[in-house]
């Protein structure tokens, strides 16, 4: 499968970039192949791509994966994709808005488990990631290009400025690492932020035997107001007094004045046992 020249293909059609849909494309085959390598997929994997764009990442995925289901909301890309994906028999492009699809509709198309690889449209990065983490869809991993700041938050360590509710939401169902930084100049048109690729490996057994719902609530509450102590935030979210919240925090083995951003996932699990 030879390389294509996406810019030439686009020029030959009447496709116009839609900024509101986060249309910043990548055409560097080395970078695209490297992102696919970061994901660790093999010829046994079914891959879901969100945002086909011009189909360049799709082509790199198709070189390795068994099957690619690529979702794209913008039908104006149809003539571009007809050329850029010509002859690839393991690729299916679905012109749908993934966020508006119910789990059952998604599973009608993608049966069984799958891995996600995507250069995500930035305006919906967090809801898209949360969808695959929190729904019952059988995603085994997500290798996604996101804004650099979001990548830093996802892969942050406790007690750092980037550590936040999304760090813990990811940790509850898996582990994340940043695999590469990507300069804004690698995209066309070029966005006004730099990017990074994050790989999240999903392990849904991590909270087995624990009250996952309660742990989610504790984490969300802990980060409600970053400048407040954990006791203050928990008192507010659980409708208890600050003294009661402090008592539970101390019983779990922590300082009564501790802030939520200092605790790890294991600490939140310990704390949940006091509620």
Which residues would be at the binding site for ligand SAM (CB under 6 A)? 21-26, 50-54, 56-57, 71-74, 97-99, 119, 121, 124
Nearer to ligand SAM, 101 or 224 (CB): 101
CB of 211 to ligand SAM, least distance (A): 33
Residue 20 Cβ, how far from ligand SAM at the closest point, in Å? 9
Look at residues 157, 134, 168, 179 and name the one whose alpha carbon lies nearest to residue 272: 168
DSSP letter string, the chain = -----HHHHHHTS-----GGGT--EE--HHHHHHHHHHHT--TT-EEEEE--TTSHHHHHHHTT-SEEEEE-S-GGGHHHHHHHTTT-TTEEEE-S-GGGS-HHHHHHHS-S-EEEEEE--GGGHHHHHHHHHHSS--EEEEEEEEEHHHHHHHTPPTTSTT--HHHHHHHHHEEEEEEEEE-GGGEES--SS-EEEEEEEE-TTTTTTS-HHHHHHHHHHHTSSTTS-HHHHHHHHHT--HHHHHHHHHHTTS-TT--GGG--HHHHHHHHTT-
Closer CB to ligand SAM, 97 or 134, in the complex: 97
Which CB, 133 or 271, lies closer to ligand SAM? 133
Q: Residue 15 or 268: which CB sits closer to ligand SAM?
A: 15
Closest CB 21 distance from ligand SAM, rounded Å: 4
> Closer to ligand SAM at the Cβ: 158 or 191?
191
Q: CA-based Rg of the chain, rounded to a whole angstrom?
A: 21
CB of 48 to ligand SAM, least distance (A): 11
CB of 116 to ligand SAM, least distance (A): 12
* Of residues 54 and 260, the one with the C-beta less far from ligand SAM: 54
Residue 184 Cβ vs ligand SAM, minimum distance, rounded to whole Å: 12
The residue (of 21 and 110) whose beta carbon lies closer to ligand SAM is 21
φ, ψ of residue 30 to 5 degrees: the values are: -60, -45
Q: In the bound complex, what is the minimum distance in angstroms from residue 101's beta carbon to ligand SAM?
A: 9
């Amino acid at each position: 499968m030879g390389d294509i020249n996406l810019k030439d293909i686009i020029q030959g059609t009447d496709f116009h970039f839609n900024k509101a849909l986060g249309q910043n494309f990548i055409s560097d085959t080395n970078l695209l192949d490297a992102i696919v390598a970061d994901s660790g997929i093999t010829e046994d994997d079914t891959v879901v791509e969100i945002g086909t764009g011009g189909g360049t990442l799709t082509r790199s995925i198709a070189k390795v994966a068994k099957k690619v289901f690529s979702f794209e909301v913008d039908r104006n890309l149809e003539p571009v994709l007809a050329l850029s994906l010509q002859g690839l028999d393991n690729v299916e492009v679905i012109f749908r808005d993934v966020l508006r699809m119910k789990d059952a509709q998604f599973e009608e198309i993608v049966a069984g488990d799958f891995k996600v690889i995507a250069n995500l449209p930035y305006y919906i990065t967090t809801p898209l990631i949360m969808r695959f983490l929190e729904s019952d869809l059988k995603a085994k991993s997500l290798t996604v290009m996101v804004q650099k700041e979001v990548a830093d938050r996802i892969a942050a360590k406790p007690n750092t400025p980037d550590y936040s509710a999304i760090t813990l939401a990811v940790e509850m169902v898996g582990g994340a690492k940043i695999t590469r930084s990507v300069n804004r100049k690698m995209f066309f048109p070029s966005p006004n932020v730099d990017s990074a690729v994050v790989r999240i490996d999903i392990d849904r057994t991590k909270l087995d035997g624990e009250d996952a719902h309660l742990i989610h609530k504790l984490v969300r509450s802990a980060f409600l107001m970053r400048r407040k102590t954990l006791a203050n935030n928990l008192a507010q979210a659980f409708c208890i007094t600050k003294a009661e919240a402090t008592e539970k925090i101390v019983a779990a083995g922590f300082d009564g004045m501790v802030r939520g951003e200092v605790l790890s996932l294991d600490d939140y699990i310990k704390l949940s046992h006091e509620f």
